[in-house]
Chain A
Amino acid sequence: MTQALHTPPSTTQAPPEADLAALAARHGLSVSGARPSLPAYVRQLWARRHFISAFATAKLTAQYSQAKLGQVWQVMNPLLNAAVYYFIFGMLLGTSHGVQDYIPFLVTGVFVWTFTQSSIMAGTRAISGNLGLVRALHFPRAALPISFALQQLQQLLFSMAALVVILLCFGIPVAASWVLVIPALFLQFAFNAGVAMVMARMGAKTPDIAQLMPFVLRTWMYASGVMFSISHIASGRKGLPSWVPELLQANPAAVYIDLMRFALIDSFHASQLPPHVWAIATGWALLAGVGGFIYFWKAEETYGRG
């Protein structure tokens, strides 16, 4: 009954290809390791949603599990971060000129920026840093960059708790506009996950990008008005063409930061936002989210190679 070869061949001659392919076709076998169609891929990803969230939460918890203070660091970390920026930009350099409620302004900017920055950094290493997982288990690979973006979102929620305390300490009143935080965060998450997927594909092919990203991200940070108000700086310089601050303000990081400031800080008025800000925010989220997903899916079968 077994496929006994009574004399061991030194090399097995491949049986005629048509026979094996026909045999496979007759029994409805599928080709292993082929890229699924886009709708099938979305379905597979949806089926793994519990894994995505469990993986994100597990990563987040594991981060501080050896520390004595444990999960307290989730809140301590962003607070210390904000304190350092306040000391340098608020007290030493005095960037605060002309900005009302500078500390809430600064801290909101830092937290929201950190969300985008760490999502992209984690996304860059999502495949190249998890080759063991990619080579051992079968799951839609997009689960990894999305999961890392989700981990950063959870991290941001801890930061937001700290932010609420800071806001109340500085006398910012609780307002109805705080509800706008939810759509703003949702759009930013879609944007971050999209960019994380783009970077994951590039990082999987060329891991060197992970060395380059910190510099790119730092430049982006200074261009996005995290520590200062773009419009205030621009109005202080006479020779600057007007499209420069407009362009800076329309960049996705600046848009999401300004939306969050507008939602939380009452002295940050709608006039300080670029025109059509929600449309721009949605556009960036759709462009990065959908585009990044398709770009990532196109190389699905190559991840983990060699």
Chain B
Amino acid sequence: MADIAKTARETAQETTRETAQLTAQGRIPTVIADGVDIVYRVNGTGAGRGSATAALNRIVRRRQTEKAAGVRKVHAVKNVSFVAYRGEAIGLIGTNGSGKSTLLKAVAGLLPVENGRIHTDGQPSLLGVNAALMNDLTGERNVFLGGLAMGMSREQIKDRYQEIVDFSGINEKGDFITLPMRTYSSGMAARLRFSIAAAKDHDVLLIDEALATGDRSFQKRSEARIRELRKHAGTVFLVSHNNKSIRDTCDRVLWLERGELRMDGPTDEVLKEYEAFTGDKAAKPKPKPAPAPVPS
């Protein structure tokens, strides 16, 4: 690891130089993370836990140090910098709790950063409308509600409605779209959610383990849809624990560990290191590396 650390600075400088050259050649950056730190604050932990007076203290005496007030800080992402370009599909990997989803949310502008800046081209959107949908409503009304929540207009949704329903395959086994979503099986509901979320074209699309839903045939279709979205979208970020789907979709991978960016490079190189790190001995060396061609 020592030699690795030694070269870190050099490679970063190279990267910067390389970046400057590449943009000169016409690659357009869509997301720039500049030394990003993200810190969560959790109330009611530590010394003050459970004690009413401590809780009162916490509310009344704002100015005191956070530690004394029983607020615990969780440093979820530490000094992460990267530049993502138009046309790239970037995988985010790392063990559980390494800060992948947190970083994704910060890119989407949903979590404020503690230090540093994230610059984006347009509004990046997380693929996911789960929170906007209501189980007591019919699938049909949820298509409209989810679409509106993502910022589509009524006309756009009307145009895409049939496409969304067909893609989800909800109506393959009968007229289920007019039933409340609570009557769906979990697989069916997940398929409808993905179909609604994937109906909109995004400048920068952020996907958090969305591919793991549905049966095999639906997974195939969603992977195809992701590729299609990637063509329209500027840039795609994908968080997944499934190395295969990362390999199939992404040409560049960021590896986060304990909130730090451990590695940034082509999919095969990073995945090889990652698999060695996680002790995934079963992962045999890939016979055909064939990285997806990068559109320039």
Chain A residues with CB under 8 Å of chain B are 1-17, 19-21, 23-24, 26-34, 47-48, 50-51, 54-55, 58-59, 61-62, 65-66, 130, 132-139, 206, 208, 301-302, 304-306
Are A14 and B129 neighbours in the complex by a CB distance under 8 Å? Answer: no
Q: Distance in Å from the Cβ of B180 to the closest Cβ of chain A? A: 7
Are A14 and B35 neighbours in the complex by a CB distance under 8 Å? Answer: yes
A13 neighbours in B (Cβ, 8 Å) = 8-9, 12-13
Are B111 and A33 neighbours in the complex by a CB distance under 8 Å? Answer: yes
Are B149 and A137 neighbours in the complex by a CB distance under 8 Å? Answer: yes
Are B129 and A136 neighbours in the complex by a CB distance under 8 Å? Answer: yes
Can you list 30 contacts pairing A with B, beta carbon distance less than 8 Å? A1-B22, A2-B252, A3-B18, A3-B264, A5-B265, A6-B265, A8-B4, A8-B270, A11-B261, A12-B262, A13-B12, A14-B12, A17-B34, A23-B20, A28-B121, A29-B29, A29-B32, A29-B120, A29-B121, A31-B119, A32-B109, A33-B111, A61-B136, A132-B131, A133-B131, A133-B132, A136-B128, A137-B129, A139-B149, A139-B151
Tell me if B236 counts as interface (CB < 8 A to partner A): no
Cα distance A74–B251 in the bound complex, in angstroms: 54
Cα distance A61–B11 in the bound complex, in angstroms: 58
Are B119 and A15 neighbours in the complex by a CB distance under 8 Å? Answer: no
Chain B's interface size range is 35 or more
Are A306 and B270 neighbours in the complex by a CB distance under 8 Å? Answer: no
Are A65 and B9 neighbours in the complex by a CB distance under 8 Å? Answer: no
- Chain B residue, CB-CB nearest to A55: B145
Q: Distance in Å from the Cβ of B127 to the closest Cβ of chain A? A: 10
Q: Distance in Å from the Cβ of A196 to the closest Cβ of chain B? A: 19
Are A24 and B148 neighbours in the complex by a CB distance under 8 Å? Answer: no
Tell me if B282 counts as interface (CB < 8 A to partner A): no
Are A2 and B294 neighbours in the complex by a CB distance under 8 Å? Answer: yes
Are B149 and A51 neighbours in the complex by a CB distance under 8 Å? Answer: yes
Are A206 and B106 neighbours in the complex by a CB distance under 8 Å? Answer: no
Q: Which of A7, A51, A59, A132 contacts B4 (CB 8 A)?
A: A7
Q: With A10-B4, A11-B262, A65-B137 in contact, is A23–B110 under 8 Å at CB?
A: no
Are B19 and A3 neighbours in the complex by a CB distance under 8 Å? Answer: yes
Are A61 and B4 neighbours in the complex by a CB distance under 8 Å? Answer: no
7 interchain residue pairs of minimum CB distance: A9-B8, A33-B109, A24-B119, A29-B119, A132-B131, A62-B136, A13-B12
Are B265 and A3 neighbours in the complex by a CB distance under 8 Å? Answer: yes
Are A7 and B3 neighbours in the complex by a CB distance under 8 Å? Answer: yes
B121 neighbours in A (Cβ, 8 Å) = 27-30
Cα distance A132–B125 in the bound complex, in angstroms: 15
A5 neighbours in B (Cβ, 8 Å) = 11, 14-15, 263-265
- Chain A residue, CB-CB nearest to B9: A13
Q: Which of B117, B131, B266, B273 contacts A137 (CB 8 A)?
A: B131
Are B83 and A3 neighbours in the complex by a CB distance under 8 Å? Answer: yes
Q: Distance in Å from the Cβ of B58 to the closest Cβ of chain A? A: 10
Q: With A2-B294, A7-B7, A302-B112 in contact, is A137–B265 under 8 Å at CB?
A: no
- Residues 92-142 (chain B) with a chain A CB within 8 angstroms: 105-113, 117-121, 123-126, 128-132, 134-137, 141
Tell me if B57 counts as interface (CB < 8 A to partner A): no
- Chain B residue, CB-CB nearest to A53: B148
Are B136 and A66 neighbours in the complex by a CB distance under 8 Å? Answer: yes
Q: With A3-B19, A20-B34, A132-B130 in contact, is A58–B145 under 8 Å at CB?
A: yes
